[in-house]
């Protein structure tokens, strides 16, 4: 079955560490997205990519970086510059502008 796989499900980061969240899709979707979800704040867009080797900053890109070397993969790195990284991170993809998003099951990142 086609879908989006995010890993790991839970991730713990020490102060000053960079961590990378994985997102892989086998839906043949061109567009992929990273959102962050905090309690009471809804989903906020971090980065998005509409095509391989191209990506754009979202509303809260500071302290994050991404790459899009393959159509199937859109990893997110949370750098030490992100001062408040504890959140639920969601990856999504879509075929086109008039299609719904398919979301992964999320990664819960906690700073320890």
CA–CA distances in Å: residue 99 to residues 8, 15, 60, 94: 27, 39, 24, 6
Site string for another protein, 21-40 (x = CB under 8 A): ----------x-x-x----x
Tokens at 19, concatenated: 């961590």
Beta strands across the sheet bearing 76-78: 4-7, 19-25, 76-78, 64-66
Closest CA to 68 of 37, 18, 34, 98: 34
- Name which of residues 58 to 77 contact another protein (CB under 8 A): 58
Confirm or reject binding of residue 106 to another protein (CB under 8 A).
Answer: yes
Among 1, 2, 100, 112, binds another protein (CB under 8 A): 100
Nearer to another protein, 62 or 99 (CB): 99
For residue 91 the two structure tokens come to: 């990856």
Which region, judged by CB under 8 A, interacts with another protein, from 11-19, 70-78, 79-87, 97-105? 97-105
**Residues contributing to the site for another protein (CB under 8 A):** 4, 6, 31, 33, 35, 40-43, 45, 48, 50, 58, 88, 90, 92, 94, 97-106, 108
């Amino acid at each position: 079955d086609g879908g989006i796989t995010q890993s790991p499900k839970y991730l713990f980061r020490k102060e000053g560490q960079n961590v990378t969240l994985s997102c892989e899709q086998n839906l043949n979707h061109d567009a992929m997205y990273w959102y962050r979800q905090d309690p009471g704040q809804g989903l906020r867009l971090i980065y998005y990519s509409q095509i391989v080797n191209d990506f754009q900053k979202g509303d809260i890109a500071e302290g994050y970086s991404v790459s899009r070397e393959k159509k199937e993969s859109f990893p997110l790195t949370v750098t030490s510059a992100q001062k408040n990284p504890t959140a639920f991170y969601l990856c999504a993809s879509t075929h086109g502008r008039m299609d719904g998003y398919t979301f992964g099951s999320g990664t819960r990142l906690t700073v320890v």
